[in-house]
Amino acid sequence: MNRHRANHTQGCVPQPQAHGSPGQMGLGPQLLHHATETADIWRTAAVYKGCPSRLFPPLCREDGTQADTPETKAQVFQAKFFPNAPRAVPTHHPSDPPPQEPRTWTPITSVEVTATLHTAAHTVPGPSGVGYKTLKWAHEARPDYLPHLLNLCLNLGYHPWKTTTVVMINKPQKLDYTVPKAYRPIALLECTGKLLKKIVAKRINADIEQYNLLPMTQFRSRPKHNAINAVASLVHKIQGTIATGHAGALLLFNISGFFNNVNPSRATAILWNKGFPPSICAWTLSFLTGRKAAIHMGNYVSEPFPILNGTPQGSPLSPILSALYTSSLLDIAKTWRHADLSLYVDNSAIYTISATLKAATESARSKYETVLTWLHDNGLQTDTTKTKLMTFTPKRANPKFVGPPIQYMAHDTPSLPATPTMSRLSSPFDTSASTSTTASTGPTTSPSWQTMHAPPSAGSPS
């Protein structure tokens, strides 16, 4: 009885607002006031740190009302991550490169299946309960069965494993867990289907490296393009700007709900243009369409519902499909002068350089408008709450070069002043002091970066 009451009470704990730090908002006193057991404090602390939890507080709908039952919470998550009416996207876009000649792939071999199963972790299986351990036993007993099954799927252009369970995982260190975007939907896919996707993803990556199908400014999803490489490349540009006496502007933004908004037909057309075998393109379209999912929260599982858009988070194929999806945007950025765009999945950075700060910020604004237009045409959009601007000038920069806050398009944030600090891929950037970088994959070997100075933002004393 006490355990049930503790769980219910914790679900009603007031959530801190989106401004200020937890210490400033008195999060500790709130928890102490509402807790009924000692375990409640430790459980809530674990949730704040990002540990998976079976407890979900009431969720806020867009109209301001609360969803406080498992059924209504599942409806809120479904509306947020799996909309019933996704925006229509044209199959082809003017930025698409000329189609390449289709390539051919050799059939999947028993050796290939063995190697893939050897590296597969013992993850939670999909709805059928068939895990990698079962597949390893079956493959050892009859090494020809799984390759034959997987080759049939690719040759027929059909993906039969279309039902999944979506587990809602709380993101770490979010200030408000009553909003759906504080959670991440992770798909528990059938391991047989994941085995096939792992093999296909590995072959796609091999083609990308051999035929240079992705721009160098696309990080992750390819060798030697991890988070540390992305941060080091950006810091190198900033240091070069300051060393040459120029001004620079860095604009960071995130693509909102990237995986969940990848259009299946558009993604398939991109694979076709890149020269992948027609059967692989047909299989990819089958994999992305006709899917059904059930939302799993704690002990509650919703009724299955159709998924009309996107690629599942948790699929081995999703990162590489998303990278290919935005490849033509990076091709557009190749034509920019004194500016570039880099992507790390949904984490994006525009960096511009000019003789004056005003020109650099204006260039960043112009390039951002180009990106917004491309994203809109392809069914994507940015998360305006995560868009930040930072400027860089030499130590002895002339104050008259300081420009006004950057102005955005009408459908986006109307203005954005420069900020003295920001973070990309868990790496801090500071315009007024030495900036050491520690990417999410580990610390860099350099103890600190060159001191970078920015002019005072609008409204601050000079």
Whether the CB-CB separation of 427 and 229 falls below 8 Å is answered with no
pLDDT, tens digit (0-9, with 9 covering 90-100), for 347-404:
999 999 998 888 888 899 899 999 999 999 999 999 888 888 888 877 766 665 545 5
Three-class SS of residue 455? Answer: coil
CA gyration radius for the chain? 24
And the tokens for 140?
């050892």
Q: The pTM is what?
A: 0.79
What is the structure's pLDDT at 48?
56
And the tokens for 8?
């219910």
Q: Which helix (H) or strand (E) holds 162?
A: none
Distance from the Cα of residue 213 to its chain's centroid: 21
d(CA 286, CA 196): 13
Closest CA to 31 of 46, 19, 20, 18: 46
pLDDT, tens digit (0-9, with 9 covering 90-100), for 102-158:
999 999 999 999 999 999 888 888 889 999 999 999 999 999 999 999 999 999 999
Q: Phi, psi (5° rounding) for residue 43?
A: -65, -45
For the chain, which ranges sit under pLDDT 50?
A: 1-29, 31-32, 402, 405-411, 433-462
Whether the CB-CB separation of 363 and 352 falls below 8 Å is answered with yes
d(CA 381, CA 438): 28
d(CA 307, CA 292): 6
Whether the CB-CB separation of 408 and 415 falls below 8 Å is answered with yes
Closest CA to 154 of 274, 277, 52, 236: 277
**Look-up: residue for tokens 């050491």?**
436
